[in-house]
Amino acid sequence: MSKDITKTAFIFPGQGSQDIGMGKSLYLNSIAARDVFDEVDEILGRNLSNLMFEGDKDELTRTENAQPAILATSIALWRSIEETTDTISTPSIVAGHSLGEYSALTVAGVFSIADAVKLVLERCKQMQMACDKKPGGMVALIGLDEVTALEICNDSGTEICTINTPKQIIIGGDHASLATALDLATARGAKKAISLKVDGAFHSCLMSPAKNGLKTAMNNIKFYDPLIPIIGNVNAEPLNTVDEIKKELEMQLTSCVQWNNSVTYMMNTGINDFFEIGHGKILSGIMKRIDGSPTVTSISNFDDVESYAT
């Protein structure tokens, strides 16, 4: 069965999408997916899949578990889609939100699953080291535009870390600066200002200590030019070469995730069908707040894979 996917994007979620039970239906029903989980367990030298399927939620939420779990689930879903459809479904474009960019790069053929896992593990290690050296946090501002958010950042010493939608913006900084930012956001009419349960100020200058370690790790990984166009987080534009991708991954640690602009770029190229490949529906919800016109479908478990195939 041939699938017309000339205007289709696969998008991959990042940290925060993890939950107990993720990937279990894939493991039970798809040989290709099972191979992915077994390979990830072997690389890690521990049974991450068991933690994902029926473990402790707090343990799964730890960065060193959550990040490889999210990567493994997205890649297992992709491999299950390939296995289940009569023809390999190759989207016209891919993108990933923060950590999800590593899933997108794997699907685009930039590096192997094994190398993706190794790189994500090193990313976890380096980010935790940066959090220990430069403690901080993040706050979600709901109902304020980018200009107002930037004013709050300038007045509080924080930074814009992620722009999910025109009115959903994540800022980060040290704890004292964030406390000031919370007060300013309330005073300037934010519908909500929510402190996030994260280990540090991701995608801000406080992550700068992580850059050298990640750069060293990338030099030990075999990269290839992407086989599918991929939209980068930092500039919300296509990444075409290995050099551009390496620079993107390094810069992504300390730069704002331009998700709103990334989605807008894809829509402007004619994309009208988006498929979220990963556990949960976080990106699907964000997509509807950016623009309600495209079709957005969550592929989160084996039933979703079968629906996609038919």
Active-site positions read 98, 203
Strand ranges in 39-158 using DSSP code E only, listed in sequence order? 93-96, 137-142
The strand pairing partners of 170, in sequence order, are 140, 162
Q: No. of H helices and E strands in the chain?
A: 14, 10
Side by side, which strands form the sheet with 8-12?
238-239, 230-231, 93-96, 8-12, 273-277, 295-299
Q: Is 226 left (phi over 0), alpha (psi -120 to 50) or beta?
A: beta
How far is the C-alpha of 60 from the C-alpha of 62, rounded, in Å?
A: 5
Q: Do 81 and 309 form a contact (C-beta atoms < 8 A)?
A: yes
The strand pairing partners of 257, in sequence order, are 162
How far is the C-alpha of 196 from the C-alpha of 62, rounded, in Å?
A: 14
Q: Do 66 and 14 form a contact (C-beta atoms < 8 A)?
A: no
Closest to 202 in 3D by CA, of 73, 14, 12: 14
* DSSP letter, residue 188: T
Q: Do 125 and 117 form a contact (C-beta atoms < 8 A)?
A: no
Q: Do 226 and 256 form a contact (C-beta atoms < 8 A)?
A: no
How far is the C-alpha of 122 from the C-alpha of 133, rounded, in Å?
A: 17
Amino acid identity of residue 137, one-letter, is G
What is the maximum span of the chain, computed from C-alpha positions, in angstroms?
57
